[in-house]
Structures are given as C-alpha cells and as structure tokens.
Amino acid sequence: MAPMYSPKCHKKLNGKVVVLTGGNTGIGKETARDLSKRGARVIILCRDTNKGDAAAEEITHETHFVVKCVKLDLASLRSVRECAENILETEDKIDYLINNAGVMMCPYWKTEDGFDMQFGTNHLGHFLLTEMLLPLVKKSAAGGFRPRIVLVSSMAHESFGMNWNDINFEKSYNSLKAYCQSKLANVLHAKELAERLDGSGISVYSLHPGVIKTELTRHTNETWYGKMFYFFTNAFYLTPVEGCQTTLYCILEDSIVDHSGRYYSGCQEKTPSSNALKEADQKRLRDISSKLVCLTPKD
C-alpha cells in the first residue's frame, strides 16, 4: 500500500506559482490537481496542447483556480527555449518547478536535435528548461520564499551507470539501459544543481514516484526485457493519485526545506545509487549537458 501524504497535509499555496512539465495525464495531472486545490496558480507544460488545454480546463472547473497550459516539446531544444522565453515574459516568479514529464523504454528514436530520445527528453530538455527558468525561481527566493525544484526520477537509476563513451547509444541501443541512464541523469542533475544553488534559498530534490500504470509504460511490451519488466512489476503498479504522493511530499513537507539535494521514495528520504553520489560525475554531466544544449552565459 502506497503511503498517502496529501490527505494529511492541509498546507495552502495561495499566491504561489507552480510550473509543471507533463501535467496533462498521469501523476503530473494529479500533482497539478492537488496543488491547484491548495490555491496555487499552476502552469502545465505539454507537447499536446489539445490534451493539455482539456486537462487545464477540467482542473480549473474542479478547483476554481485557473490552470494554464503552455506548449513544450522536451524533445526539441527550440521548443524548450520558446516555452521558457514565453514564461520569462509572462511570469514574475516561479515558486515550484516540477520536472515530471518523460518517456520510457521507447524504440531507437532521436530527438529533433539528434539526441537519444530518452536522454534528450528526460534529461537534456529538462536541464535546459531549468537553467532558463532559474531567474524566476531566484526571484521567488529574493522575495523571502523558499522555492523548490523537484525532479521526478526513478529507482531505475540504480540499475546502470552513465554510458559516458556513447551517451546517445549510437553504437548499441538498449531501451532499458537508455531509460536507466536518463533517470540516473535526473539524480545527478539534482545533486549538482543543489550544490550550485547552496545558500540561495532554493531547495532541489529528486525522487522515485513508484511503479505507476500510466501512458509512460506503453512501450514496455516491445522488447523481451520490457515484457519481463512488466511481468515482475505489474502486481506493484500504483494509481496516478498514489504515484504523485512523493512529488507532493517534496513540494509541501516543511521539515525537508533544508535538505536540498536529497532523494526520496515512498514519502521518505532514501539513499540513491553509488553512481548518483559521485561528485565528479555530477559535474561531468553538467559540463556535457551545457555543451549539448549550447547553453550560453545569458541563458
């Protein structure tokens, strides 16, 4: 039974701005719903704006707080930049940034910029988005609030290390290893970002939400190891409402505000894999990511 944190927490978020990737379905949608009920102004970033607008309208009708949808395709750096620039122009601050969207065990697809789809979507797109939106998160901190950045990773990050010599799996593709690498990149990113923002008043967390039956798992039956994964995890699937609880914990729990850089699962702190704790790898990934997304000082 998954721990249910949200019903026990009565914290209100009136006046707070939440930016959430992938909020049109699954745990992202349930996260958006919960935070909207608390009075936050939620902005969901979605590739499919038809579904995004429908989700935003549904939640707005239910909670009576306006939810907004902005187009974002994490598999396109051009789209990431356009989305970030849109938000920078229209928003005064961001109190909570939740990097939730992702793809899982898809075929050998490339992003618009030629990256492995899973590494490009799950890590590089979020990396660039976070860097570009940091000025708005810092504005929240400058106003005396303690903003938070939350990266939704997975326990899959424990299975393999970074494929440094072929980070885009161009020599030999394995969809499971590529997925695990992208989730390890999320934890490495959170660790490095937390260290870089130390003293800024901004907290950063990564988490494993649980094994959840959502659209994310639609490609698992396309390979033999995907079928094995499905077979052994099917009995443990959580609902999206159950699956969003650790994300909500990392957003709402007051006792962890000074625990930036830590990793959570089941609404409690856990120790990530040893590969995620290597400071040299954390910095190496930042350097590689900055180069791949052509990050410039003005970003």
Cα gap 24→10, rounded to integer Å: 24
Helix axes 175-196, 224-233, angle to 10 degrees: 70
Q: Which of 5, 96, 179, 249 is catalytic?
A: 179
- Token pair of 1, please? 């039974």
Euclidean distance between CA atoms 196 and 287, whole angstroms: 13
Across-strand partners of 28?
A: none
Tokens of 138: 């810092």
CB 7 within 8 A of CB 242: no
Distance (Å, whole) CA 71 – CA 24:
11
DSSP characters over 178-197? HHHHHHHHHHHHHHHHHHHT
Question: Rounded to an integer, what distance in angstroms lies between the CA atom of residue 77 and that of residue 121?
Answer: 10
- Beta-carbon contacts of residue 7 (< 8 Å; ≥ 6 apart): none
Q: Is 90 exposed, middle or buried (0-12, 13-18, 19+ CB in 10 A)?
A: exposed
Q: Catalytic site residue 173?
A: no
Q: How far does the chain reach from its first CA to its final CA, in angstroms?
A: 43
- Residue where the block lists tokens 């702190």: 269
d(CA 238, CA 272): 21
Distances (CA, A) of 6 to 2, 29, 130: 12, 15, 26
Active site residues: 179
